[in-house]
Amino acid sequence: MRDARASLRYAKAILNLAKDTNSETIVDSDMKLIAATIAENPEFEIVLRSPVIKAKDKMKVLNALFTGKIDNITLGLFNLLDENKRISMIEPIAKQYSIIYDFLKHMQVAKVTTAVPLSPEMEAKVLAKIVALTGEKANLENEVNPAILGGFILRVGDVQYDASISNQLNELKKEFDNSHYIPKI
């Protein structure tokens, strides 16, 4: 990944600054908002990465989108990146910040794949179960995949639990295929 080291250094520096002012959680929310905004708008990412568009125009867009919604530390990051001509690195920095923040707070990412979106009640139950199983809190990412038919697939760290109906059907099919029992007629 291009500029990975630099984005990690910026993220660590911003986290240290945020810790000094006890606003690391607020800045984490800002970083997640920035990363989500860029991920949801591919045109915006193109604007940020474009060498043709002037830095001052990129700053106008960033300020118009985020002023009043984010902390001053995060706004300061925009200005620092502008001064260093690295405004295109805002997305990887935001992602790196969230990763190191989660590590600092002993948070892990749990991905749950379901056939339909999780309700808030079900999401709370899944988070409680993750804490019971791992002893650590988790941020839950819900991916919807109708191909699993029902049930869920839960992945926490490098452990995966597949309780989907499609998996159960595949297991049943394997049992039938491996069975050498031939019924007598």
How far is residue 128's CA from residue 136's CA, in Å, rounded to a whole number? 10
CATH number of 4-103: 1.10.520.20
Q: Domain residue spans in the chain?
A: 4-103, 107-178
How far is residue 185's CA from residue 4's CA, in Å, rounded to a whole number? 67
pTM of this structure: 0.66
Per-residue pLDDT of the chain (185 residues; tens, 9 = 90+): 567 888 999 999 999 999 999 999 999 999 999 999 998 988 988 988 898 999 889 999 888 888 888 889 998 999 999 999 999 899 999 999 988 998 888 778 888 888 889 888 988 888 888 888 777 788 888 888 888 888 888 888 777 888 888 888 888 888 877 776 666 66
**For residue range 8-56, what is the model confidence (pLDDT) as tens digits?**
999 999 999 999 999 999 999 999 999 999 989 889 889 888 989 998 8
How far is residue 38's CA from residue 91's CA, in Å, rounded to a whole number? 7
**Nearest Cα to Cα of residue 26 among 107, 92, 97, 80:** 97
Beta-strand ranges (E) seen in the chain are: 107-114, 137-144, 152-156, 159-162
Owner of token pair 């706004």: 75
Cβ atoms of residues 45 and 34 within 8 Å:
no
Backbone φ/ψ region at 106: left (φ over 0), alpha (ψ -120 to 50), beta: left
CB proximity list for 82: less than 8 A, separation 6 or greater: 55, 56, 58, 59
